[in-house]
Homo-oligomer: A and B are copies of this chain.
Amino acid sequence: MDAPLDRTDRRLLAALQDDARLTVAELAERVALSPSPCWRRVRRLEQAGVISGYHARLDAGRLGLGITAFVSVVMGSHTREVARAFEAAVQDIPEVIACHNVSGEYDFLLEVVAPDLAAYGEFARSVLQALPGVRALHSSFALKPIKTARRLPIPGA
């Protein structure tokens, strides 16, 4: 389950990261293998959790989500209890599409989507500000997406 990834594994991962709809036959051709062992490798990578899932990427704008904001959060207290409550609350807020506990002057960095600036403002005030332990928020808006593929580099693929 924890065998190191060889060059073939890495090429499979790179290919599937770019296009999850490749058939096993296409994949096999791409890595110079026959379909069956290729399929077995992919399954092994899935079961080992190297591949955690397959997802359709959607266009936020075309879904009516015109605003993406990066929100830095400073906590007022740093007890474990409060942190846990904050983290749990964040899980249940659909508008928060990503959240990390980060080092530095802020405690958390959130990525939030909203239909427009007015909706975001209301959301920040009524939902984010009210989260457990929050002392201060700082919102930075995405003005222009430069690179959003989030494709992980795979050395030697």
Contact = CB atoms under 8 A, between A and B. Distances in A.
Contact of A70 (B90, B102, B143): B102
A56 B53 contact: yes
A102 B143 CA distance: 5
Nearest to A62: B50
Contact of A63 (B13, B138, B141, B143): B13
The complex is assembled from copies of this chain, and their number is 2
Interface string A129-153: 0000000001111111111111111
Interface string A69-105: 0100000000000000001001100111111111110
Interface of A: 5, 13, 16-21, 48-60, 62-65, 68, 70, 87, 90-91, 94-104, 106, 108-109, 111, 113, 138-155
Contacts of A21: 20, 54
A109 B140 contact: yes
Contacts of A64: 155
Given A13-B63, A100-B70, A91 B143 contact: no
